[in-house]
Structure 1
């Protein structure tokens, strides 16, 4: 199979933008991605486009992909809308990579977009809830936060994970997000604030939960031959993996981990010929603080049950052994559902090229993205490396 390289990547700001549309947000991300390419990329060279979106709120439920790509002048490219809940644009990126590896495309666009803040809280909870099991979770009254609260409660009971360890995820990610000009919640918080937030779904409080955001992301992938024309600082997508799991929490063999993460990670590690110990930094799916802790274990960054002590040790801080969510993660940067996975790749691209501004960590050679749909019904993992293979 052919090698795959990222030559451009960008995102819009994440937040609440009543004066923006899904088209204008995507245009911002796409034009930023084109501008980030070192060479002169003719957009007519884009063969395939994959756009992730849940399509919340009733806007352009059919054909949202072509609706945004035509807006940025990609009338000739084949466009596919990808829906895999919160993993939509992570899967879109993997599909773009597979198109290049197979020879179907030489240049492909992967991206995502979502507008979520123009709905009532009740409508937002509905659209988030449909990413879980509909009949036995959402229609029974379980919220998205409620599902992850059950996972947190089980992990705390089985492994002794503490309230403070959950809160340290929020403190770390807000500190990182405060350095990210694109972040929705770009402010720091103290440990006391994070521990004393109002309860959302016990044991999770307000500081354990990511916001719902508007935003878009775009990533340009190419074959090696095209990458050699366009950049002297290539970022190689050396491994990808995708797995599906039981959509409903009650259907799974365990709720103290996400089996699909482990399977997707094993695929990505094998394809990249690396192990978790070789990953320098990661952008993981922290829709709730417990989700980041589970990711540490499921991705192999620490042993099962050790995620609490792992975050407490400082290992995932910017100056730790493996920084996690330097962008601020979903918790601080924000979570526009369809744009999230692509946004993770944008951060990895910037860090590996030394272009992450105030949050830049020097010496990074290999990064990982981890994008989860729902509470683990779909997971996609990517491994990225600096330089040519």
Structure 2
């Protein structure tokens, strides 16, 4: 435990930029013998130490609500984390559930606590352990989550089935080929193989041919174009940008944000509304940050399935319509490419830890801006765009992050 004394500026009520100053993470994988509380403890203490704080400097805990884990959800909701970690300076605790957008909203809640002077440093942890959930419970959870219970669920509609239909429609409208869609997976896995916290770390990224030769799940989605459920956990420590600057520690500072809500279910969602949300939300976040898309060094996109990536790229004008597949196929989004993209490999490359994929993406955004990304480090990073999306794609939260020096 670090006995580092932190000196805070007097709390000022009013708008302050939020800063991530500490990150912690455990490798994504399968941990049936490791308790959820072990993961929470390890990730949280890593984040506190990385921030250069003592655990008692944490004055609030805002937790990502764990999906499909009702017992843990109940324990966290009733305030067990500060007690379990011995956070004697903690003044407030709460949980937040917005699916894959939960971390974004945890950060917003933390920002409010900091801006109003209720807390100076806030811990945001997340854990998901799928491996100890009975298979029947997992199947039932994901069969119902994000699926309309009255009109779709009785007919066996699944995420993979709905996304397959979306993918087929996108390919038809854009002219994107199966090989180009498979190249999105190749790009994501290229990043994942360099990430010590990925379930695919050190494993050779598949070729386009390997992706397309894997078994068909729901046409046109092959097995390697779908997600692998996994266990994992991560944590952030946040404070104000002024405090981070005074501490002289590396930090990721939130410069701009915008959001759009679409619908609860993919089957009731207009593709045109989604594209408009992508475009306008991204523009507004960039405008608030005072930046253009040309000034973004990394696009950390979290959209779970491959189809969202080329769709987003084209919609916000990072390439000409119908050309995004070629951007992935030609390696521009790979490590060393001109358009670094999803540098942990999104859920396809990370292993799907429920709403923890967005948490891992925020950790990666901070890691890149702090210069701690190891083999994945993109040289000269100053600004990163990141998004999150909750449920079956119910919303789009766009954020822009920069360095504090």
Q: Tell me how large the CA RMSD over aligned residues is.
A: 2.3
Aligned to 2:61: 49
SS of residue paired to 1:13: strand
Matches within 5 A, 1:10-29: 10-29=24-43
Aligned to 1:280: 297
Q: Tell me the distance in 2 between the aligned counterparts of 1:102 and 1:335.
A: 35
The answer as to 2:144 corresponding to 1:127 is no
Aligned to 1:181: 196
- Give the count of matched residue pairs: 386
Aligned CA distance change for structure 1 residues 313 and 97 (closer, same or farther; 3 Å): farther
Q: Is the CA contact (8 Å cut-off) linking 1:84 and 1:373 kept in structure 2? A: yes
Deviation, structure 1 residue 174: 1.4
The answer as to 2:237 corresponding to 1:237 is no
The answer as to 2:11 corresponding to 1:7 is no
SS of residue paired to 2:313: helix
Q: Is the CA contact (8 Å cut-off) linking 1:286 and 1:331 kept in structure 2? A: no
Cα displacement string for residues 74-133 of structure 1 (whole angstroms, at most 9, x for unaligned residues) = 363412211112222232223323433454432222232211122344432332344313
Q: Tell me the distance in 2 between the aligned counterparts of 1:255 and 1:150.
A: 16
Q: Tell me the distance in 2 between the aligned counterparts of 1:355 and 1:339.
A: 20
Q: Tell me the distance in 1 between the aligned counterparts of 2:166 and 2:118.
A: 41
Deviation, structure 1 residue 373: 1.1
Aligned to 1:64: 76
- Structure 2: stretches of 5+ with no match in the other structure: 1-14
Q: Tell me the distance in 2 between the aligned counterparts of 1:305 and 1:53.
A: 38
Aligned to 1:246: 263
Aligned with 1:154 (options 169, 180, 183):
169
Aligned CA distance change for structure 1 residues 123 and 301 (closer, same or farther; 3 Å): farther
Q: What TM-score do the two structures reach when normalised by structure 2?
A: 0.88
Aligned to 2:11: none
Aligned to 1:144: 159
Aligned CA distance change for structure 1 residues 342 and 378 (closer, same or farther; 3 Å): same
SS of residue paired to 2:335: coil
Q: Is the CA contact (8 Å cut-off) linking 1:173 and 1:331 kept in structure 2? A: yes
SS of residue paired to 1:32: helix
Deviation, structure 1 residue 311: 1.8
Aligned CA distance change for structure 1 residues 309 and 2 (closer, same or farther; 3 Å): same
The answer as to 2:343 corresponding to 1:326 is yes
Larger Rg: 2
Q: Tell me the distance in 2 between the aligned counterparts of 1:263 and 1:102.
A: 29
Aligned CA distance change for structure 1 residues 361 and 182 (closer, same or farther; 3 Å): same
SS of residue paired to 1:134: coil
The answer as to 2:218 corresponding to 1:201 is yes
For structure 1, which segment, 238-247 or 99-108, has the greater mean C-alpha deviation from structure 2 after superposition? 99-108
SS of residue paired to 1:373: coil
Q: Tell me the distance in 1 between the aligned counterparts of 2:275 and 2:60.
A: 31
Aligned CA distance change for structure 1 residues 294 and 127 (closer, same or farther; 3 Å): farther
Deviation, structure 1 residue 300: 4.2
Q: Is the CA contact (8 Å cut-off) linking 2:147 and 2:158 kept in structure 1? A: no
SS of residue paired to 2:72: coil
Cα displacement string for residues 322-342 of structure 1 (whole angstroms, at most 9, x for unaligned residues) = 201222221122221132222
Q: Tell me the distance in 2 between the aligned counterparts of 1:129 and 1:266.
A: 35
SS of residue paired to 1:12: strand
Q: Tell me the distance in 2 between the aligned counterparts of 1:170 and 1:221.
A: 32
Cα displacement string for residues 157-204 of structure 1 (whole angstroms, at most 9, x for unaligned residues) = 111111111111111221211111111123221221111111111111
